Amino acid sequence: MKLIGRLLLYVLIACLVVIFGFYFLLQTRWGADHISNWVSENSGYHLTFDVMDHRFSAPSHLLLENVTFGRDGQPATLVAKTVDIGLSIRQLTAPLHVDTILLQDGTLNISVQTAPFPFEADRLQLRNMALNSPGSEWRLSAQRVNGGVMPWRPKPVGY
């Protein structure tokens, strides 16, 4: 009985070491490259970012740095220095719905070719962002935008 208990303890410790190893590897450039490649290969979108950061002081937030996101074969929809994604318990039932998305220091291009995003948020916040709508009826161009949208549920342009 002691042997089984020790064996289970060693297996549990080994699993925890592997989980923490993956946790720290995902926060490196190597992890960012692998996540970016996986998303780009398994979806109709192209994603790149330099680093993924997670802090235990804000456990429900993921920070992505130097992010480029868009549809395959199209110009980038989003280019941002920092993207802060606030997660919630809702990810268990709706993985593409997040609590908050904070976009900082970049450009958001809204057009027929680039919209809609594949995810929703209870709140989309913009901080020091440029908004453009190239090739659309809106002719929107704004610089240093600070603001937000609640809730953010994008639909294709024209609907």
- Please give the model's pTM, rounded to 2 decimal places: 0.78
Considering only residues 138 and 115, tell me which one the structure prediction assigns the higher pLDDT.
138
- Residues sharing a CB contact under 8 Å with residue 81, sequence separation 6 or more, in sequence order: 65, 66, 67, 104, 105, 106
Tens of pLDDT along 87-132?
A: 888 888 888 889 999 999 999 888 766 656 778 889 999 999 998 8
Q: 51-55 and 45-48: which strand pairing?
A: unpaired
- The phi-psi region of residue 61 (left if phi > 0; otherwise alpha if psi is between -120 and 50; otherwise beta) is beta
- Confidence band for 156, pLDDT divided at 50, 70 and 90: low
- CA pair distance 89, 122, nearest whole angstrom: 13
Read off the DSSP letter of residue 92: G
- CA pair distance 59, 92, nearest whole angstrom: 16
- Residues sharing a CB contact under 8 Å with residue 31, sequence separation 6 or more, in sequence order: 25, 52
Q: How many CB atoms lie within 10 A of CB 37?
A: 12
Q: What is the pLDDT of residue 96?
A: 84
Average pLDDT over residues 153-159: 62
CB 121 within 8 A of CB 100: yes
Q: What is the pLDDT of residue 106?
A: 93
Q: What is the pLDDT of residue 115?
A: 52
Strand-pairing partners, residue 132, are: 109, 141
Strand-pairing partners, residue 97, are: 120
Tens of pLDDT along 42-91?
A: 888 888 998 888 877 888 888 999 999 988 888 888 999 999 999 888 88
Q: Which two tokens stand for residue 121?
A: 């948020």
- CA pair distance 102, 109, nearest whole angstrom: 16
Considering only residues 69 and 157, tell me which one the structure prediction assigns the higher pLDDT.
69
Q: What is the pLDDT of residue 104?
A: 95
Residue with tokens 């074969």: 73
